[in-house]
Structure 1
Amino acid sequence: MAAVLPLQPAAVSSTPESTPAPAPVASATPRRSRGWLWLVVVLIVAAAAGYGWMQWQAKLERDRAQASDAGQRLDALDGRIDSIRRDQRAQVQRLQQADATNRVLRDELLGVGQRAALLEDTVSKLADPDRHGAQALRLDETELLLSLGQQRLLIAGDLDGARRAYALAGHVLDGVDDPAYLSLRQTLQQERAGLDALGVEPRVKAMAELDALAQTALAAPSATVAHDEPLAPWWRRAFASLIDVRPSDRTVAVQPSDRIAATAGLQLEISLARAAAERRDEAGFRAALQRAEAWQARLWPESPSLQQQRTRMRELAQRPLSLTLPTLGSTLQQLRQLRAAD
């Protein structure tokens, strides 16, 4: 508040014009009061502005926090949506696999049903007394054994295996009491007799003879036979160590390198003949033996031993490599005809 100055007493005048006016003191007090008022107003406005600015900054922080939180929530939602989509695709794949599995199981179930129907039909046929179920089983087994024996003989050349199969077929066929199959037993006995008469399988026999002939053919003399003249001229006896006179038409190899090459060629042709015999190639077998005979002439001089080996080799080339049995398969064919007629 403004201080009030004391007024000094003035001279009293009788006239009204001489009285002093207090106007200047009264005008100074309101001016000072208005200045303080404006200052207070400015402070209030500044405080309000600061408070508003602080509230605005706080609101901005809250908005930024809410925006960040919303972004995180959106990212989390996107991740969950992607996970749900992956799970959905996995479920679709599982459903497709389950559908495929169901189709396969349905097909298998249909197959099992068909096989069960076939088995039921077969069992009903076997249980039918008019069809003689036990006899049908024995005939089936006989047909199977005859087929196995024929295949082992023709394909593998297993003569012993074919004989065993035919023997088992004979034992099974003995259990059939139907007189209609009596002729079948006689045919089977004739076919078994033909198999027993074959002795050794031709291919095995030919290979054994080829091995024996190869051992003899490869044991060629190391040098040519000397001349048989007991009394040669003196000039031949004198120069025999320096000059060797031979006919130009002789093909026997003398040089070591030539004899080694001829021996290798003979061994190669014998190996080719053995391979041809293994695969039952009669044409290749004969051609290999002819070439081996030509190589043998390069190693052996003309002699009775060479002629004997040539004769054996030519006889061996004419040997068959496959079985020739006219009655082979006749029992199986007759059995099938009898069963087709029933």
Structure 2
Amino acid sequence: MTETSVASQPRARGSGRGAVWLLALALVLLVVWGGWRWWSAQEQMRMADDRDLDQHLQALEARTARLRLDLRAQSQRLQQAEATNRVLRDELLGLGQRAAILEDDLAAVARPQRDAAQALRLDEVELLLAQGQQRLQLAGDQDGAHRAYALAAQLLAGLEHPDPGLLNLRQTLAQERAALDALGEDPRRTAAGRLEALAAALPALPVHAPAAGQPAASWWQRAFARLVEVRPSDGALALEPADRAAGLAALQLELTLSRVAIERRDEAGLREALDRVDAWLTRLWPDSAGLRERRAALAALREAPLSASLPSLGSTLEQLRRQRASPPRPAAAPGES
């Protein structure tokens, strides 16, 4: 091999390497340019999307602003309508009140029970009901209460143009009269009769207790019985004539106080007086079947009531006063139900 061929071989190798590097550089530049083009396209697309999004947001804000304006306008119209309705409602209420006042005035003029004669009749009914209630409460006069209630019922039934509200009053009066009829005898009269029967039965009680179970007296006791009487010192019976006379007088006084308490319908005073009567019974008479019977009757009389219990008493009077105090209600029109 000559020197010329040997020198051309390195030269060819160096040119080949340069071409390779140039080709690689061209490929790198091509890749970079392609990447830049892709990034630029993506950036343009992103910017286009942002512009579209901004346009959509602006459109939404514009629509929201328009909706707010519409809502504000609707609220103003609603407030105006509410104010108008309030004014109309107040006017209607005023008209209704005026109409009610006119109806009351017309009813006061037209109703026949507002005349003087019928008002006087109702005053008489009220007076009779009050008298009947006071007779029964204060004096226990059931007969007088019956008569007063009967006269009140006759007056109510004799009204020429009765108010429909008085029908309930007549029904209440009928119920109160029925309850009054069911009371029976006056408890005070019954208690007084029982006390008199008890007082009349007291003298029949034995003064000396029968000596049952005691041994027969010895000859010297029988001999000195007319001179000396031996009895236990702890006995509570009043056997001496002076003691018995004083005890009987005290017993009669307590019985009189019991009668007074019955007349006054004083149940507490009656119980206290009967307790003292019971104490004198055990002091004046010895224990016996008759005494126990009288004491049992005394205990029953102690718990007996002295006043009649009538829960409905005065209900008619109260209803009449409440009805007369309330304003009259106008009669309904023919077409109303």
User: What's the TM-score once normalised by structure 2's chain length?
Assistant: 0.58
Letter in 2 for 1:144: L
SS in 1 for 2:111: helix
1:323: which partner in 2? 308
Q: Structure 1 residues 296 and 264 mapped into 2: Cα distance closer, same or farther (>3 Å)? A: same
C-alpha deviation, 1:146, in angstroms: 0.2
Letter in 1 for 2:216: A
User: What's the TM-score once normalised by structure 1's chain length?
Assistant: 0.58
SS in 2 for 1:276: helix
SS in 2 for 1:251: coil
CA contact (8 A) 1:252 1:301 kept: yes
1:130 paired residue among 101, 106, 111: 111
2:136 paired residue among 153, 156, 177: 153
SS in 1 for 2:316: helix
C-alpha deviation, 1:171, in angstroms: 1.1
Whole-angstrom distance in 2 between the partners of 1:269 and 1:233: 39
C-alpha deviation, 1:320, in angstroms: 1.8
Deviates more, 1:148-157 or 1:128-137: 128-137
Whole-angstrom distance in 2 between the partners of 1:330 and 1:155: 17
2:210 paired residue among 213, 223, 226: 226
Structure 2 portions without partners, runs of 5+: 1-107, 329-337
Whole-angstrom distance in 1 between the partners of 2:123 and 2:239: 68
List aligned pairs for 1:1-342, cutoff 5 A.
129-132=110-113, 133=115, 134-176=117-159, 177-221=162-206, 223-229=207-213, 232=216, 234=218, 241=226, 244-341=229-326, 342=328
Whole-angstrom distance in 2 between the partners of 1:239 and 1:326: 69
Deviations 1:45-103 (A, max 9, x none): xxxxxxxxxxxxxxxxxxxxxxxxxxxxxxxxxxxxxxxxxxxxxxxxxxxxxxxxxxx
Letter in 2 for 1:328: L
Identity of aligned residues (%): 55
C-alpha deviation, 1:338, in angstroms: 1.5
C-alpha deviation, 1:168, in angstroms: 0.8
Whole-angstrom distance in 1 between the partners of 2:290 and 2:175: 44
- For the aligned residue pairs, the C-alpha RMSD in angstroms reads 2.3
- The number of aligned residues is 215
C-alpha deviation, 1:260, in angstroms: 0.7
Structure 1 portions without partners, runs of 5+: 1-126
C-alpha deviation, 1:183, in angstroms: 1.6
Structure with more relative contact order (C-alpha pairs < 8 Å, separation 6 or more): 2
Whole-angstrom distance in 2 between the partners of 1:169 and 1:156: 20
Whole-angstrom distance in 1 between the partners of 2:225 and 2:127: 76
CA contact (8 A) 1:252 1:298 kept: yes
CA contact (8 A) 2:205 2:290 kept: no
CA contact (8 A) 2:172 2:315 kept: yes
